[in-house]
Amino acid sequence: MNIYFDNNATTSVALEVLEAMLPYLKEAYGNPSTAYSFGRKVRDSVERARGQVASLIGAKEEEIIFTSSGTESDNTAIMSALRFKNAGKHIVTTAVEHPAVLNLCKYLQTFGYTYTELPVDNAGMIDLDYMAQIIDANTAILSIMYANNETGVIFPIDKISRIASSKNVVLHTDAVQAVGKLPINVNDLGVQMLSISGHKLHAPKGVGALYVKKGTEFYPYIIGGHQENGRRAGTENVAAIVGLGKACDIAKTFLDSETLKVQHLRDRLEAGLLNKCSNTIVNGASSPRLSNTSNISFAYVDGEAILMMLDKEGIYASSGSACSSGSGQPSHVLRAMNIPQEYIRSSVRFSLSPYNSEEEVDALIGILPQLIERLRHISFLRGN
C-alpha cells in the first residue's frame, strides 16, 4: 500500500500533462528563439501555454512570464519592485511566508534593506489595520502569500490590495498553493504580481510563472538573452512550459468539482482522526482554508516519529514545508501562531489531491490512531 498525502510539497504529473509534454522531449526539440519554421512551431506551443496559464487566473497573455519555479517568481517580484524609480528600501511580509520570501528578505538586510514580518493570531490571520500602520513612505513592496503552505489558511488578498493601493505600494502574492485550488481573477484581486509553481498543480518540477500586471514597472532578475520579451533570459524549458499550460487548462475545467471532492476527503479525514485521537487539534481550522490542507497536532507525540511510522505503513505526509524539512527546527508557521509547544512538535500536514480516495482516507483513519496511542505509551514509559 502506498498512499500519498503530501501534495503541498509536490504533486504527481497528470497523465494528460505528461502526454502533452512528450513531443517536446522527442521530435519537437527546436529552440523557440530560432527564426526557421522548426523553432517557430515550438514557439507557438510556448505561446499557447502562456494563454492557458493566463486564462486560469484571468490575466492577459502578455502578463505571464515563465520562470523555473515559484521561488524564482517570488525572488523576481521582490527584486524588481526594489528597483522601481523612487522605490523605498522597506519590505512588508508576514511571519508565516515561505522561505523563498523570508530568506530573501533576511539576505537583503545585508545590503541595507529592511523588512517587517506581520504577526498572525492563533488562527493564522494577520491584522489588516496593523498592516496599514506599518506601511510607510519607505515601503517598496508588500509580499503576502495567498494561502499558507503548512496550514492552508487563506489571506484576504482583495482587501490587502485595497490597502496597498491606498498607500501606493506594490502588492505581490505568492499564490503557489492557491493556483489550481481556488478560483482566481487577478483583476478582482488587485495584485501587481503573482507567483505560480508548476509542480503544485500536477505539472512537472522546474517550471513556474510570474504574473506582472500590464503597466507595472518591471526589471528582469535573470539577465542574458531576449527570451520572454526581455523579461527573463535563458532558453525556455519548452516541455515543462507546455506541461504547465496543460495543467492550468485541466485545473480551470475541473476546479469546482475537484474542490468539492477534495474538501469532502479532507473533512472526512479530520472528523475521523479527531473522533479517534484525544488531545488533537486542527491548526488554523477557524480560518478560511484551502480545501485540501489539514495541519493536525497530536499532543505529547513527536511529529517526526509519527511520519516515520506512517512511512513504514506506506503512507506519506509531512511536518510542514518541504523546503524546511530536515532543519530540525519547529515550524515557524505554528510558532508564529503561538500554538502550544506540546502541539507544535507533534504536528503533521496532510495535503490531498483529486487523485486521493475515500479508501485511502479511511486507511489512514484506521491506522494512525493506533500509532498515536503506541507513541504516547512509549513516551509515558520514558517519562517524557
E strand spans, the chain: 3-4, 64-67, 90-94, 114-118, 139-143, 170-174, 193-197, 208-212, 280-282, 293-298, 315-316, 347-351
Is 248 tagged catalytic? no
Judge contact between 198 and 240, C-beta under 8 A: yes
Sign of dihedral through CA atoms 314, 12, 366, 324?
Answer: positive
- Bridge partners for 208 per DSSP: 67, 197
Cell of 45: 506551443
β-pair type (293-298, 280-282):
antiparallel
CB contact set of 102 (below 8 Å; sequence gap of 6+):
93, 117, 332
Interatomic CA distance for residues 69 and 285, integer angstroms: 29
Interatomic CA distance for residues 381 and 361, integer angstroms: 31
179: DSSP letter: B
Burial per residue of 51-60, b for 16 or more beta-carbon CB atoms within 10 angstroms, e otherwise: bbbbbbbebe
- State the catalytic residue, choosing from 105, 248, 277, 323: 323
Cell of 268: 472526512
- For residue 7, what is the enclosing H or E element? none
Cell of 231: 523579461
Helices (H) and strands (E) in the chain, counts: 12, 12
CB contact set of 125 (below 8 Å; sequence gap of 6+):
153, 155, 287
First to last CA, the chain: 32
Residue type present at position 283? N
Looking at the annotation, which residues are catalytic?
323
